[in-house]
Chain A
């Protein structure tokens, strides 16, 4: 039962150790100033909410939920393309689990398109996509590729393997996006640079991204923008330790890239994966992020020599942007300028069952995480 620990997982969820780190955080944070840190990645947002990490932080340490949720930032128009492929072109559309619910135009989502007869299949890995393409030689199979640097190498492998096997019915609708460009975008936003409305004292960087790209790409933020970065694992103790490391950097006037997740992250990352990605993909000049708008050089597209694996070219798709609800504050929430509960739509028109904006879509989104795990904090709870 629970008494028998799950090796290498439960060790990082130890409540007793958490109390110790919490005391160290409280001591380091003192009372003289406040600290605002952004956890870039939705996985960290999820961990903070799921384990109740906010309960361990003093009132003067605030966490801002960043835009690092690939499902949340996928714009409506890109999902519309996928739905069109399934419903109008009759392809077998393969997708990871959580994009299936994202609301698209005309009240549709991939799940609803499936109910209308679209052949939409949930896959757990790109090897499932290969199997589907092999089993259906007479049909077009398209993989809706989304995610940050963590899911890009598997997509690159998919293309390489499809080419090696001579699979002529498989292509990729590529929506892979890049972590460093999104952070740059936030650091260059007027709220951070000029108005000072958003106090941002540092970043928690996602360890799984850095397993691939290394910690080196963040050195630029530390130097150029004087913002400390700590690369952090996803277990709750990892996150707390990283917060402590950020507070100490701020207190000591340092702005460095530190690696909390030394058990797997190196400065250079996985060179083999980087080379594979560089072989298959090139930078897009610009890409729309739901909630953030157009972000320059923030996404990847498939290189011309692999054009036949690029669903956008293969099906001659043209992207049509679709605007979010006007009252939706997702943009401001993703940039850390507003909190979820400050949006008029939060918890009324916009809920996880009926999401209006991107942050409510995935369980990693700032609004969905707050709605699901933390909204009792907004309400006055009457004790029994």
Chain B
């Protein structure tokens, strides 16, 4: 006689199973994926309620809510030093951090491609959960959609974050003033070149790891140092060059930086040289650019260097008045040049 278990559902096959359209269809399969995959990994009281959204208590004390969102579409999904999962947490946490906010909650939306291996999804979700735990944020709500095979690049993750900034702290791209000092929290180009080194049609094998990391701990130390910060930003896509140009434009100022002061790992520099790339334009996922008043630069630099994620911090230049809002650089060679906005994407040069 067979024992019928009316509530039994066969668990997800995490070894050989794949994402199917049914996993986004709103039925039992979707509920199972959400519970076994996401609820299990991100476990917290808000998510466990299984509602359409999370009702969250505001933390004690005065302050302002800061909110941001970031879509993550990296290829390959797994790269040296990280994967799309931890990147999706760090990217949004860092956007909150450079606004001066303490990150509190994340929402995560997954767009999965039909046929995506459940084993890979599990690895990515576990990496996300771990990154969130280390960063001290909870993933409190989310969404899952499945697109047909060929209509997605494996998976995309969008994370939205909410954090709390102290009352009175204003960090904004329009606050750089002539005389201010520009600081950078460490070596540039690691993330972008780690990704490039693993692109399928590139066959160089360089020991480069992504710098992906959550920066809010570093930022908290910087704020606590008492330095008068004007602007903070994480130089992701477009690299330090894009970030400086954005700030110069927003603030209506010019900048002068010194190439010799910008840390670049020799292996990153060699890989850039090989492909004809400029590290200033390569993405970072665990670095920040800070601009502060001249009087507090030494204080801020010391605070940054005292933190593990900022021990290679350096003063890289200063803000000047310039109606053209140029970012100029003294090259290591000793000449001067513009560091312009990137036009299009960086493409490898022929010769």
Q: Is the CB of B266 within 8 A of A52?
A: no
Q: Which residues of B contact A236 (CB under 8 A)?
A: 333, 335
Q: Are A56 and B335 in contact (CB under 8 A)?
A: yes
A123 to B312 CA separation, bound complex (whole angstroms): 36
State the CA gap A325–B270 with chains docked (Å). 39
CA distance A71 to B347 in the complex (A): 12
Q: Which residue of A111, A352, A374, A376 has the most chain B CB atoms within 10 A of its CB atom?
A: A376
When the two chains form the complex, which single residue of B265, B273, B350 contacts A1, counting CB atoms closer than 8 Å? B265
Task: Say whether B266 contacts A6, CB under 8 Å.
Answer: yes
Residue B79 CB within 8 A of the other chain: no
B331 within 8 A of A: yes
Cβ contacts under 8 Å, A214 to chain B: none
- Residues on B with beta carbons closer than 8 Å to the beta carbon of A54: 335
Contacts of A374 in B (CB 8 A): 337-338
A50-B337, A373-B340 known; A384-B321 Cβ under 8 A: yes
Interface residues of B, dominant DSSP: loop
Closest to B320 in A: A384
Instruction: Tell me the residues in window 302-344 of chain B with beta carbons closer than 8 Å to chain A beta carbons.
Output: 312, 318-324, 326, 328, 330-338, 340, 343-344
For B340, the chain A residues whose CB sits under 8 A away are 352, 371-373
Q: Is there a chain B Cβ closer than 8 Å to A143's Cβ? A: no
Q: For the complex, is B254 an interface residue (Cβ under 8 Å from A)? A: yes
Q: B337–A128 contact, CB under 8 A?
A: no
The verdict on B348 contacting chain A, using a C-beta distance below 8 Å, is: yes
CB contact between B350 and one of A98, A128, A353, A384 (< 8 Å): that residue: A98
Minimal Cβ-Cβ distance residue in B for A381: B322
Pairwise interchain contact A71-B350, C-beta atoms closer than 8 A: yes
Closest CB-CB distance, B259 to chain A, in whole Å? 9
Residue of B nearest to A12 (CB): B333
Cβ B348 vs Cβ A97 within 8 A: yes
A52 touches B333 (CB 8 A): yes
Residues of A within 8 A of B336 (CB): 52, 55, 376
Q: Which of A59-109 contact B (CB under 8 A)?
A: 70-71, 96-101
Q: Is there contact, CB below 8 Å, between A15 and B324?
A: no
CB nearest neighbor in B for A70: B350
Q: Contacts A6-B266, A384-B320 known; A101 to B337 CB distance under 8 Å?
A: no
State the CA gap A191–B344 with chains docked (Å): 36
For residue B349, CB closer than 8 A to chain A, the reply is yes
Stretch binding the partner chain, chosen from A146-154, A265-273, A287-295, A307-315: A146-154
List A contacts of B350 (CB < 8 A).
70-71, 96-99, 146-147, 151
Complex Cα distance A372/B349, Å?
Answer: 16
The reply to whether B349 and A98 contact each other, CB–CB distance below 8 Å, is yes
> Taking the complex as formed, is A210 at the interface, i.e. its CB lies under 8 A from any CB of chain B?
no
**Once the chains bind, are A51 and B347 in contact (CB under 8 Å)?**
no
Whether B326 lies near A379 (C-beta < 8 A) is yes
CA distance A108 to B201 in the complex (A): 25
Is B332 a contact of A6 with CB atoms below 8 Å? no
CB atoms of B349 and A364 under 8 A apart: yes
Within 8 A of B (CB), among A4-31: 4, 6, 9, 13-15, 18-19
**In the complex the two chains form, is B324's CB within 8 Å of A148's CB?**
no
Asked if residues B273 and A9 are in contact (CB atoms below 8 Å), the reply is: yes
Q: Closest CB of chain A to B127's CB: distance in Å?
A: 29
Q: Is B284 an interface residue (CB 8 A)?
A: no
Q: Is A53 an interface residue (CB 8 A)?
A: yes
Tell me whether B22 is interfacial, beta carbon within 8 Å: no
Q: How far is the CB of A63 from chain B (nearest CB, A)?
A: 13
> Which partner residue on chain A sits nearest B330 by CB separation?
A52
Say whether A51 contacts B320, CB under 8 Å.
no
How far is A146 from B350 in the complex, measured between Cα atoms in Å?
9
Q: Which residues of A contact B312 (CB under 8 A)?
A: 1
Q: Are A208 and B187 in contact, with the CB atoms below 8 A?
A: no
Task: Report the Cα distance A381→B333, complex, angstroms.
Answer: 22
Q: Which residue of A lies closest to B312 (CB)?
A: A1
A residues less than 8 Å from B334 (CB atoms): 15, 18-19, 52, 55-56
> Are B263 and A372 within 8 A (Cβ)?
no
Q: Indicate if the CB atoms of B331 and A50 lie closer than 8 Å.
A: yes
Q: Of B178, B266, B270, B312, which is in contact with the most chain A CB atoms at under 10 Å from its CB?
A: B266
Residue of A nearest to B187 (CB): A1
A253 smallest CB distance to B (angstroms): 31
Residues in B whose Cβ lies below 8 Å from that of A6: 266, 269-270, 273
B90 CB, nearest partner CB in chain A, Å: 23
Q: Chain B residues near A53: list those with CB within 8 A.
A: 333, 335
Nearest Cβ distance between residue A203 and chain B, in whole angstroms? 18
Q: Does A383 contact B (CB under 8 A)?
A: yes
A99 contact set on B, CB distance < 8 A = 350
Residues of A within 8 A of B265 (CB): 1
Q: 7 closest pairs, A vs B, by CB? A: A52-B335, A97-B347, A352-B343, A15-B334, A384-B320, A97-B348, A55-B335
Beyond the given A1-B264, A122-B201, please list 7 additional residue pairs across the A-B interface where CB-CB is below 8 A.
A9-B273, A18-B333, A51-B333, A55-B334, A96-B350, A236-B333, A381-B326
Q: List 21 A-B contacts (CB under 8 A).
A: A1-B263, A1-B312, A2-B264, A6-B266, A15-B332, A18-B333, A49-B337, A52-B333, A52-B335, A52-B337, A56-B334, A56-B335, A98-B350, A146-B350, A208-B351, A352-B344, A373-B338, A374-B338, A376-B326, A381-B254, A384-B178
Task: Show the binding face of B for A, using Cβ within 8 Å.
Answer: 178-179, 187, 201-202, 254, 260, 262-266, 269-270, 273, 278, 312, 318-324, 326, 328, 330-338, 340, 343-344, 347-351
